[in-house]
Amino acid sequence: MFRSTAKLTRQLLQSSRMLTSLSSSSTSAKSRLFPASAAVTYQSWKVAHHLSTAPNNSEHNEYDNNDDILTTPPSRSHVNPWEEPEDMPTSGEWEGCKRGFMKPIQISARGVEILHSPLYNKGTAFKSGERDRLRFRGLLPHRVMNINKQKERFLIGLRELESNIRKNIMLEDLHDRNETLYHRILVDHIEEMAPLIYTPTVGQACQELSARFRRPRGMYFTEEDRGHMAAMVYNWPHNDVRVIVVTDGSRILGLGDLGANGMGIPVGKLSLYCAAGGIAPHRVLPVVLDVGTDNQELLNDEFYLGVQKPRLRGKEYFHLVDEFMNAVRYRWPRVLVQFEDFDSSVAQRLLDKYRHTHLCFNDDIQGTGATSLAGLMGALRAKGEDVNSLGDQRILIAGAGSAGIGIAQVLYQAMLEQGYSETQAKDAFYVVDQHGLLGKERMATLNPEQQAFARDVDSGLPLLDVVKKYKPTMLVGVTAVGGLFTEGLVREMASHVERPVIFPLSNPTTKAECTAEQAFEWTDGRCVFASGSPFDPVEMEDGRIFSTSQCNNMYVFPGIGLGATICGARKVTDRMLYVAAKALAECLTPEDAARGQVFPHISKIRSVSHAVAVAVIEEAIREGINTKVSPDDAKNLKAYVDRKMYYPEYVPLIEKRTISI
């Protein structure tokens, strides 16, 4: 089990390279992919550092490395958990940390039940005193391992696997056994893990969910549950649910209708809520509204686990959603509901119906809009232009669905904030769907949100002709059509603009409108690039290396959820999304911008979520919809939010006693 640091580091370097090449796109183009050597070096440094600094006796201290999952110490930036955080408070509950004593959690589970409860299970990390106290002495092998040793062992096994889907399965198995270790691995290795538990691998995990089903996670609601939902929600074993991610599986990433197999998306998003957003795992609930599917393959599949009927539509559908929304609010009055991957035929309608009465938002419309705003402001910085010059851009959005219109709406609001008139702001947009440019002549076929961005002339003009005629400075793809940005189209754009901004945002990677290497090659390295799923940096034949960024709503939804739930906001407002975008944009350092990056590195995601949450709470206070943060706490909001963020560490457990003497 124990390997030398050098040997392990070598192996990690090798595995990381393997991972890099597995997740990379085709290398057939002239430019070749550049292995993310900076990340590899950082990764191996972290492991090497840990191995050389972990104290020898750490495995035998009953209370070291433990924490209360409900509140956490303020600073978590340290790599080695045995090191005392620099800003450890001098009073209050964390005074105990210094003496190696942690407030335990009382649990009702007993003996072996605890080992089978993923929220409490620590596996081989249970210390001998705890094994006695909790009555499972003898049910675990003798050796006690601390969380870092467990993590190290898990990572060796994970990195030996050859395919990303196998890695996803291994991670989800851990998720089902030991949530603390799972989230700790995500927190410490987010760059490596995000593509495995989220896009792109989560797409395949959803497609194969029924075939690979092992253990249930989350809740399913079907038409048969009508009239029972208010009672059903009490089947969920946790009383303090703060965030629900719900889908009806009708548009999973760019993969279309995956029915109940879409459960992988709420599960993946909520893993990010915990690891990146600091929401404790017992406070999240993934949900599928299983209203059938129109996917013929699933309807014919003998192993499909969802409702094998055509989708419920119309009034019946909306009544079902309504019962669900009221049932969850009945049990958890302050819960935040994130609508995810609903087909655009219902997404905006659901948002409009609930946004003023329930604490909710639509991630594909609003989260994507806020993230893209931050990314496009980052692109202006990377180009050395004024971030407040959005209204002077010519912005071509390919795709007029939830994401496309969501992006246009948030950018439009931002332009008004930046001082542009409504006419100037509207004039910056060119929005194209399958039938070409949205224009006045097509008004009758457009929904009200699309109509707002219809141009006076050139209705139906094809995408390439829009590029030729209007010479966009920014090109955003949210069509779910892989390869839509052809060489001809990108070269045409680059012939008019010195530094074209190219954002193929469709997920998963196979649906990206173009790859990173294509964009850099076809613009001779002049573009500023960001994609929905991650791409490795690109090295051109002449040796130039270009950074890529991931423009994905994962940069804002965890922070929006964290902020909205900490302050008990009554609703998620448009301005909250705007301040979230600004906070995210401000996390970009001058060095990031100089490298052509438009988002902070993903390893910074927890501090990004923290900044977004602080901005959201400040906005809630300004708008008078904060119900929880006291004026005193508001004075030192950053520290307050820090304290509220969950950090995955083992907590001492004690039995909850029902009889007192």
Active site residues: 198, 269
Q: 120 and 653 in contact (C-beta within 8 Å)?
A: yes
What distances in angstroms separate CA 501 from CA 378, 472, 594, one per listed residue? 10, 9, 15
Residue 320 burial (10 A CB sphere; 0-12, 13-18, 19+): buried
Q: How far apart are CB 550 and ligand NDP at their closest, in Å?
A: 8
Q: Which is nearer to ligand PYR, 255 or 475 (CB)?
A: 255
| Residue among 29, 133, 131, 148 at smallest CA distance from 78 | 148
**Which of Mg ion, ligand NDP, ligand PYR, none has residue 51 at its interface (CB below 5 to 8 Å by kind)?**
none
The single residue among 15, 507, 550, 609 that binds ligand PYR, judged by CB under 6 A, is 507
**257 touches Mg ion (CB under 5 A):** no
Question: How many residues would you count in the chain?
Answer: 661
C-alpha 38/C-alpha 36 separation (Å) is 6
Reduced to 3 states, what is the DSSP secondary structure of residue 399? coil
Is residue 362 near ligand PYR by the rule CB under 6 A? no
Least distance CB 515 / ligand NDP (angstroms): 15
Nearer to ligand PYR, 411 or 653 (CB): 411
Q: Which residue number, 505 or 519, has a Cβ lying nearer to Mg ion?
A: 505
Query: Which of 450, 507 has the CB closer to ligand PYR?
Result: 507
Which structure tokens are listed for 402? 């939830």
Q: Which residue's Cβ has the minimum distance to ligand NDP?
A: 401
Pick 185 or 519: Cβ nearer ligand NDP: 519
Binding letters toward Mg ion, positions 399-438, x by CB under 5 A: ----------------------------------------
Buried-exposed string 321-339: b where 16+ CB fall within 10 A, e elsewhere: bebbbebbbebbebbbbbb
Residues 321 and 466: their CA atoms lie apart, in Å, by 39
| Nearest distance from C-beta of residue 465 to ligand NDP, angstroms | 12
Q: Which CB sits closer to ligand PYR, 73 or 532?
A: 532
Q: Compute the distance between CA of residue 506 and CA of residue 509 in angstroms, rounded to an integer.
A: 7
CB of 648 to ligand PYR, least distance (A): 24
Rule CB under 5 A: say whether 130 interacts with Mg ion. no
* Contact residue for Mg ion among 225, 290, 364, 521 (CB under 5 A): 364
CB 223 within 8 A of CB 208: no
Q: Enter the tokens of residue 409.
A: 């709406």
Residues 194-233 that bind ligand PYR (CB under 6 A): 199
The verdict on 341 binding ligand PYR (CB under 6 A) reads: yes
**Least CB distance to ligand NDP at residue 401 (A):** 2
**In this structure, are residues 410 and 577 in contact, taking their beta carbons and an 8 Å threshold?**
yes
- The sign of the torsion formed by the CA atoms of 327, 333, 335, 341 equals positive
Rounded to whole angstroms, the Cα distance separating 152 from 169 reads: 18
Q: For ligand NDP, which is the closer residue by CB, 186 or 400?
A: 400
Q: State the angle between helix axes of 5-23 and 147-160 in degrees (0 to 180), rounded to the nearest 10.
A: 50
Residue 467 burial by CB count (10 A; 0-12/13-18/19+): exposed, middle or buried?
buried
Q: Which does 400 bind (CB under 5 to 8 A by kind): ligand NDP, Mg ion, ligand PYR, none?
A: ligand NDP
Measured torsion, CA atoms of residues 614, 619, 622, 627, in degrees rounded to the nearest 10: -70
Q: Which of 525, 522, 529 is nearest to 505 (CA)?
A: 529
Binding-site partner at residue 404 among ligand PYR, ligand NDP, Mg ion, none, CB < 5 to 8 Å by type: ligand NDP
Asked whether position 267 contacts ligand PYR by CB under 6 A, the answer is: no
Query: Cα–Cα distances in Å, from 484 out to 250, 323, 396?
Result: 22, 40, 13
Among 64, 130, 341, 433, interactor with Mg ion by CB under 5 A? 341
Query: What is the distance between the alpha carbons of residues 446 and 453, in angstroms, rounded to a whole number?
Result: 10
Q: Does 257 bind ligand PYR (CB under 6 A)?
A: no
Contact residues: ligand NDP, CB under 6 A: 251, 253-254, 344, 364, 368, 371, 398-404, 432-435, 463, 478-481, 484, 505-507, 511, 532, 551-553
CB of 179 or CB of 341, closer to ligand PYR: 341
Q: What x/- string results for residues 543 through 582 when contact with ligand PYR is judged by CB under 6 A?
A: ---------xx-----------------------------
Could you say which of Mg ion, ligand NDP, ligand PYR, none residue 277 binds, taking C-beta under 5 to 8 angstroms by partner kind? none
Contact set with ligand PYR (CB under 6 A): 199, 253, 341, 363-364, 507, 532, 552-553
Contact set with Mg ion (CB under 5 A): 341, 364
